Amino acid sequence: MRSNGNMESKANITAHQDKFWFVDRELETRRASHRLRTLVPIVPISPREVEISGKRMISFASNDYLGLSKHPLLKERAIEYTIRYGTGATASRLVCGNYDCMESLEKRLAELSYKEKALILPSGFQTNVSLLPALADKDSLIISDELNHASIVLGCRLARCSLEIFPHNDYDALQKIISKRRDQFSRIIVVTESVFSMDGDRADIDRLVEISKNFSAIVVVDEAHAVGVLGTNGMGLSVGSGVDIIMGTFSKALGASGAYVACSEKLASYLINCCAGFIYSTAMPPPVIGAIDAALDLVLTSEEVRRELLKKADYVRASLKALGFNTGFSSTHIVPVIVGHEKEALDLSQHLRNKDIFTLAFRPPTVPPGTSRIRISLSASHSWEDIEKLVEALSSWTRL
Ligand SMILES: Cc1ncc(COP(=O)(O)O)c(C=O)c1O
């Protein structure tokens, strides 16, 4: 470890010529507080199974909520699009032109989102970090839920405007902030997730829209964890509501990667001109567009699959609550098991791994201090037997 204070750090740089002193310090701090992130090598076996160190395990770690990432139809269409269009998009669409497969995917997404237009982007992270700065100027105020994803948090910071954080899903607090600050800003943008990634609870979209409408605030909703699973045709909780910009990803239930925004025609033209993540990045690769097209075919006929998935989630929650676990306010296919201390979350994750179940421990800064957890991510590909095995494994854990 190099140093604790700035003065000492400066002295160290000259003394040892170690320009990376901060790396040692950061890694050591994380290690000491049980917050060090490391990569776990896995071999994917099936949508519900992975192999770790030669051992086959049931995975409750992936966001492959419908088990589509290895579906034959997605693979076939990805190959079809590769043969027809090639492996890469070769440049930004504003530079090398617009492929017909991009336009037709966007048309489909707009229709499914009940919006005039949709735009696809190469990743959800990229979308959030560039969408919010595109919407805001220095005289704007962004109001963001305190549990929003890191990409939204970063997008808010990059917007370089005023920022207010409202307590998680507390719409009275949101209303107070808007009514107090409305007149001080040229633009107000309210941003939330619809299904929160670490908690599996839901935003109240109707309430959000109602409050925002009264103050002419722009509403942006990140549907990353709802798309494929919840809402009309499984296309998210904002479909058919008054949300101005629906952001969704293809990287989770749709088994591919990338993201889209669905909005008015005028806003889409604005984003084509002002959203850096769209303008200055090579477009989504054609094989991925093929896979997404196939995933949408399957999502539209998966109503029963979705119902069954949510039934499994209800069962997991009820079983865990009966065992005395804290599953927060989850009401979806994401079920946190909140244990508190980092060490306990790591211990629970290891305990499950010893029982051939793969989950990860989520610790600060990904979740607030004191709420470390394992995150159970349920998939339609999990059998009832898998679920029973999970519950049984959790029931045999003894707290540190
Ligand atoms: C709520 C939310 N938004 C955006 C993203 C980023 O999406 P992507 O993984 O497609 O970059 C994530 C990723 O986990 C997320 O949970």
pLDDT of residue 11: 55
Q: How far is the CA of 98 from the centre of ligand 1 (A)?
A: 25
pLDDT grade for 8, boundaries at 50, 70 and 90: low
Q: What is the mean pLDDT of the chain?
A: 95
pLDDT digits (tens, 9 = 90+) for 122-149: 999 999 999 999 999 999 999 999 999 9
pLDDT digits (tens, 9 = 90+) for 187-224: 999 999 999 999 999 999 999 999 999 999 999 999 99
pLDDT digits (tens, 9 = 90+) for 316-344: 999 999 999 999 999 999 999 999 999 99
| Ligand 1 contact, 377 CB (< 6 A) | no
pLDDT digits (tens, 9 = 90+) for 92-126: 999 999 999 999 999 999 999 999 999 999 999 99
pLDDT for 6 beyond 60:
no
Active site amino acids? 63, 149, 193, 197, 222, 225, 252
Instruction: Report domain extents, the chain.
Output: 32-66+303-395, 72-299
pLDDT digits (tens, 9 = 90+) for 284-304: 999 999 999 999 999 999 999
Q: Looking at domain 72-299, which of 3.90.420.10, 1.20.1440.120, 3.60.15.10, 3.40.640.10 is its CATH number?
A: 3.40.640.10
Q: How far is the CA of 333 from the centre of ligand 1 (A)?
A: 16
User: What CA dihedral angle connects 62, 63, 67 and 71, to 10 degrees?
Assistant: -90
| Ligand 1 contact, 371 CB (< 6 A) | no
**If you ran DSSP here, which 8-state letter would residue 252 be given?**
S
**Among 152, 223, 238, 251, residue to substitute to test ligand 1 (most atoms within 8 Å of Cβ):** 251
In 3-state terms, what secondary structure has residue 156?
helix
Domain 32-66+303-395 has CATH 3.90.1150.10: yes
pLDDT grade for 14, boundaries at 50, 70 and 90: low
| Ligand 1 contact, 48 CB (< 6 A) | no
Q: Give the residue, by CA position, lying nearest to ligand 1 atom 16.
A: 197
Q: How many of the other CB atoms lie within 10 Å of CB of 12?
A: 16
Through-space distance between the first and last CA atoms of the chain, rounded to whole angstroms: 29
* CA nearest to 312, candidates 383, 229, 227: 383
| Ligand 1 contact, 379 CB (< 6 A) | no
Q: Give the residue, by CA position, lying nearest to ligand 1 atom 3.
A: 224
Say whether 72-299 and 32-66+303-395 share the same fold.
Answer: no
User: What CA–CA distances, in Å, run from 43 to 53, 142, 382?
Assistant: 9, 41, 18
pLDDT for 48 beyond 80:
yes
Q: How many of the other CB atoms lie within 10 Å of CB of 239?
A: 23
What percentage of the chain exceeds 90 in pLDDT? 95
Q: Give per-residue burial for 148-167: e unless 16+ CB within 10 Å, then b.
A: bbebbbebbebbebbbbbbe
| Ligand 1 contact, 62 CB (< 6 A) | no
| Ligand 1 contact, 191 CB (< 6 A) | no
What is 346-364 written as a DSSP string? HHHHHHHHHTTEE--EE-T
In 3-state terms, what secondary structure has residue 45?
strand
Distance from the Cα of residue 236 to its chain's centroid: 13
Can you tell me the distance from the alpha carbon of 253 to that of 377, in angstroms, rounded to the nearest whole number? Answer: 11
**Pairing status of strand 49-52 against strand 117-121:** unpaired
